[in-house]
Structure 1
Amino acid sequence: MTATRLAVWAAIALALVGTLMLYNQPGFLVNLADQLWSCF
């Protein structure tokens, strides 16, 4: 159980750090928003 919990918390922390790193690249976010709006 402890190893599973540690793996889950590590995955959550990695996802949060990855998201914060993407916010440091505004060009990527603009491109992502353009792709999202092109669906509509």
Structure 2
Amino acid sequence: MSNFPKLIPAFTTNAPSPMAPPSQSQPSAPKTPSYAPNQIIP
């Protein structure tokens, strides 16, 4: 039971963190596709 309550808070702390990166990941999304084709060329 001690593990469950600890996992819940961990997820809650990770929830706000992942939510912030997604916002920055959107602008980076266009750069990800550029990297994929670049890696295929070499």
TM, length-normalised to structure 1: 0.45
The structure with the larger Rg is: 2
Normalized against structure 2, the TM-score is what?
0.45
Q: Comparing both chains, which one has the higher relative contact order based on Cα–Cα distances under 8 Å and sequence gaps of 6 or more? A: 1
